Amino acid sequence: MSAGFEYAGTELELFAHARHWKAYWSRVLAPWIHGDVLEVGAGIGTNTPLLRGGTQGAWTCLEPDAGQLARGRAAHAGVVERVRHVAGTLATLPEDERFDTLLYLDVLEHIEDDRGELARAARRLRPGGRIVVLAPAHQRLFTEFDRAIGHHRRYDRTSLAAIGPVELGREALHYLDSVGLCASLANRVLLHQSAPSLGQVRAWDRWMVPVSRVLDPLLLRRAGKSIVAVWRK
């Protein structure tokens, strides 16, 4: 992504209906988010209220798409405190800005040079700060839907670990949504669908995500259609 980028996908609107899924992953990620936060690729701002809490300082929503940024600013007005909205990318921020947490929530897969992006993110961290990533998992699930919404790839534990900044320590690397993984595989192999419908998203969110919340810890989070990684300085 670059400054002046215009997002052409539909996933933000489609998965805005996934209330249980958002509650699940936000609860998993929350313990790692503290201090001054930079949310890279904040989009229309739907994730910010889920994670904004009493353990953080200032919160910056960084978004290269001007239209998405404006929607996020409007959505947060009077609802989310101490949030600023900045147009651009990590590369366009002032060189001296530092943060305690950098968030990439379904964003890293949109960035062609993901290794370089994480290296830049590491340089923006204060001592003790973290990079927190949530991304789609398993390249075998990559479809034309991924390509249409600007994904360059999906990740597994090996590929995501390989691009982690070498100067940081890794605190977490695991999957989420084991039931969703099974459904996605069935959707790909049996139904030959590349894109989920709104009805499928709602059914997955209502019936499958709650089961994944119970099953994932029992499986030691070794399977899922999304992946989480956390690195600390």
**pTM for the full predicted model:** 0.92
pLDDT at 8: 46
pLDDT at 152: 96
Neighbouring C-alpha atoms within 13 Å toward the C-beta of 79? 13
Q: Which amino acid is at 78?
A: G
What is the DSSP code (8-state) at residue 151? -
Backbone angles phi, psi at 160, to 5 degrees: -75, -40
Q: Which amino acid is at 215?
A: L
**Contact between 32 and 130 (Cβ < 8 Å):** yes
**Contact between 134 and 104 (Cβ < 8 Å):** yes
148 — pLDDT class (breaks 50, 70, 90): confident
**Contact between 43 and 195 (Cβ < 8 Å):** no
Q: What is the mean pLDDT of residues 26-39?
A: 97
pLDDT digits 0-9 by tens, 36-73 = 999 999 999 999 999 998 779 999 999 999 999 999 99
The residue assigned the tokens 């989070």 is 221
Q: State in words which class domain 11-232 has.
A: alpha beta
Beta bridge partners of 173: 229
Is residue 108 predicted with pLDDT exceeding 80? yes
Task: Kindly report the number of other CB atoms within 10 A of residue 52's CB atom.
Answer: 19
- DSSP string covering 33-53, please? --EEEEEET-TTSSSHHHH--
Lowest mean pLDDT among 13-27, 31-45, 213-227: 13-27
What is the DSSP code (8-state) at residue 77? T
Rounded to whole angstroms, the Cα distance separating 82 from 75 reads 14
Q: Where are the beta strands (DSSP E) in 23-168?
A: 35-40, 56-63, 83-87, 99-105, 125-136
201 — pLDDT class (breaks 50, 70, 90): confident
